[in-house]
Structure formats: structure tokens, C-alpha cells
Amino acid sequence: MDNIAGQKSTLTWAVHIAVLVLVLAWVFPTLGLLVSSFRTSDQISTSGWWAALTTQEGQLPAIRINGQEVQEADLYVIEGGLFPDSDTTVTAWGTSSRAPEAHAAGDTAELKDGARLTVAGDGAFRLTGGQSWEGQRLPRVFTTAATPPEFTLSNYTNVLTSDTAGAGIANAFINTLTVAIPSTIIPILVAAFAAYALAWMDFPGRSLLIAAVVGLLVVPLQLALIPLLQLHNAIGIGKGYLGVWLAHTGFGLPLAIYLLRNYMVGLPRDIIENARVDGATEFQIFIKIILPLSFPALASFAIFQFLWTWNDLLIALVFLGTDDSTLVLTGRLVNLMGSRGGQWEILATSAFVSIVVPLAVFFAMQKYLVRGLLAGSVK
């Protein structure tokens, strides 16, 4: 007994460490994505997200002098601040890319044509010259400075309110819900009946049918896109919500039937046989006994299917079309990134915008998820 107990405790440690590693492996990138979603694209491309959390010291890209020209006696003066929106502290500065640290904060530099430039520690500058700056190229200032952490909400306002991508987010949100909810309910309805029949009703060829369903699990759905759309066009469904519901139902059914059938097979035979003896019909057994007992499996499959249809881009684009009026959330977020993509700030923000509903669904139903998962796999 001692021996077994000892084994158990070392195993527990292994499990704890494994769980910790897995949790970190998921939380760490998610945190990075969250931080990135509050940074501008320039910040993202110049430094890592971890650098955003502390004050950064370093050489900043050139800032061009900019401001209203004022005439003081025979001098033309432009005054202003290099960092109007942040508490950046300048330690050194310069006007040439060759010598970006030529002057200390507060120094005055001689530029060409008798112009003078002073940059103070807080970024305040004073540019004076003998003639008007009108129509001239104003000098650039390279600074070496300490920048406190700075975050922006502009990515979120951009993603939530921009209509450069054609469709507004509210419209896309409703389109996605219109796709996802029926695409979750229809396969569950069909699969529950089928799973009961395959688990508890005797008919010839049942095992073959089950084998066929399992076989269908491995068929890649990309293979079916063109023939299926051809079929939809031929029978007059065309592109639309009905088509996308049917497609999601079809692609979701093999897994649903397999998962639910395995769960239902595990239910105690006695209950069902008792019911049969008492004269219940198959339909009554299904409604009164099987369905309530299978709730964890139904719920776990519902979560799977909902997440998959919510995140789906491919099927929605193919069967629903890419018009602004029918664009789903994922499609709209992709279009926001522009013709050449690569906008990390939009990508990060979009991820958090689109994750809200799946998270809510997951937390509402997560206690069924584990039970249902185990039910499907362990008999």
C-alpha cells in the first residue's frame, strides 16, 4: 500500500508540472497577443510586446520639426514639443543620421544658413532662422530618450468602427450568428437520432454503417467544396444561408454521430431493456431516457461545433459568398488587413474581438465538455 501511495505522489507531481507547462504554453502567447492589441503597428514592428511593459531607453526614429512659425524681431521662430502626448525624457539628440547623439539635452546646435535649434530634456524645441521657414524642409531630430509604457485603444476603435472593409462589424456579427446557431443545432438533432439507432436498434448492416461513418471522419472537407457547391447551384439553393447550414451539417455529422453513439452505447442496458419490457416505443425511450442521459455528450459536441462554425472562414466564403452583406466576422476581419496583409495590430485585436462569444459559450458549458469528452473516448 505504501508503495502505491508513494507512486501516486510522484505521479501527481508529474501531472502538476505537465499542467503548468501546458497552461504557460497557452497563456504566454495569449498575453503577448493581448498586449500587442494595445500597441501601434510601429511599436509592434520595432520592439517585442514584453518591452511595452517597462520604460524603454534607446534611440528613436527621426521626428520632423513641426509647428506654427512666429516672427520675433528679425528671427523666424518655430516652437513646440517633440513628444506632445507622452512623458518621454530626452538625453541626447542630433539632426544628422550620421551623428544622432551629437548634442546633450538643452544644447543649442548650429544648423546651416545660421539657423539654430535647441532641444530640451522634455522634448520642447526652439528653432530659429534668419529667413522664413515657409516652403522649406524643416530639420529632423534624432533623439536618444527614455519612453514610458504607452498603450492605445485605436486598434479596437479601428476594428469595431472602421467601414473601409465594406461591412460593419454589427452586420458581420449577426451574419456569423445566423450561420453558427443553426449549423450547431441541425447536426445535433440529426446525429442524436442516428446515434441512438446505431447504438440500440438492431438492423442488418449496422456495424458496416458505423464503420462508414468513422471512415467519413478522415475525408478532408476541401475535397467536397466544388462538387457540393455545384450541387447547390444545380438544385437551386445557390449561395446563401441554407447552403452554408447544409454544408456545416454535412461536415459536422460524422464526428457528431461517432461521439454520441459511443456515449449512448455506454449507457446501462438494463434501463433500456426495462423500458422496452414496460412497453415503451423506441421513440419514447429516445426522448424520455436517452436524451436526458446524453446531455453531457450533446453539450460537448455543441461546444465543438459552435466553436468550429464560429471560427470558420473557408466554408462561409465558399457557400455564403464574399459580398459585404453576407460577410461573416472572420471574413470581415481578414478583409480589414488590406490587400497585402501583415498588419499585426489588426490581427491581434481581431483575435480578441472574435474570441468573446466562444469564450462565453465555453465558460457557460465547460463542465459538460470534460465529461462529454471522456464519455466519447473511454467506455
Partner 1 sequence: MRVSLYASVATLALSASLAQAAGHLPFTPGEGDFNWDSLTAFAEANDLNGEEISVFGPWRGDDQALVESILGYFTEATGATIKYASSETYEQQIVIDTEAGSPPNVAVLPQPGLIQDLVSKGFVEPLGEDTENWLRANYAAGDSWVSLGTYTGPDGEDRLYAFPYKIDLKSLVWYSPENFEDAGYEVPETMEDLKALTQQIVDDGGTPWCIGLGSGGATGWPATDWVEDMMLRTQSPETYDQWIKNEIPFTDPAVVGAIEEFGFFARNDDYVAGGAGAVASTDFRDSPDGMFSSPPQCYMHRQASFIPTFFPEGTEVGLDADFFYFPAYAGKELGKPVLGAGTLAFITNDSPGARALLAFLQTPIAHELWMAQSGFLTPHTGVNTDLYGSDALKKQGEILLNATTFRFDGSDLMPTGVGAGSFWTGMVDYAGGKDAAAVASQIQESWDALK
When asked if residue 47 is in the footprint of partner 1 (CB under 8 A), the reply is no
Residue 299: partners with Cβ closer than 8 Å, 6 or more residues away: 365, 368, 369, 372
Task: Note whether 67 and 79 are within 8 A (CB).
Answer: yes
User: Residue for cell digits 513646440?
Assistant: 80
Near partner 1 in 339-368, by CB under 8 A:
339-342
Beta-carbon-side half-sphere exposure of residue 31 (alpha carbons within 13 Å): 9
Q: At what angle do helices 344-377 and 329-336 cross, to 10 degrees?
A: 150
Residue 367: partners with Cβ closer than 8 Å, 6 or more residues away: none
When asked if residue 157 is in the footprint of partner 1 (CB under 8 A), the reply is no
When asked if residue 67 is in the footprint of partner 1 (CB under 8 A), the reply is no
Instruction: Give the shortest CB-289-to-partner 1 separation in angstroms.
Output: 44
Binding characters for partner 1, 218-237, by CB under 8 A (x = yes):
-------xxx-xx-xxx---
When asked if residue 181 is in the footprint of partner 1 (CB under 8 A), the reply is no
Q: Record the cell numbers describing residue 321, joined without a space.
A: 459568398
Near partner 1 in 85-124, by CB under 8 A:
96-98, 100
When asked if residue 9 is in the footprint of partner 1 (CB under 8 A), the reply is no
Closest CA to 310 of 357, 346, 350, 353: 357
Closer residue to partner 1 (CB): 42 or 273: 42
Residue 317: partners with Cβ closer than 8 Å, 6 or more residues away: 331
Which position among 29, 48, 130, 238 is part of the footprint of partner 1 (CB under 8 A)? 238
Length of the chain: 379
Near partner 1 in 260-299, by CB under 8 A:
none
Which position among 75, 221, 335, 361 is part of the footprint of partner 1 (CB under 8 A)? 335
Binding region for partner 1 (CB under 8 A): 40-42, 45-46, 59-62, 64, 96-98, 100, 137, 140, 142-143, 164-166, 225-227, 229-230, 232-234, 238-239, 314, 317-318, 321-325, 331, 334-342
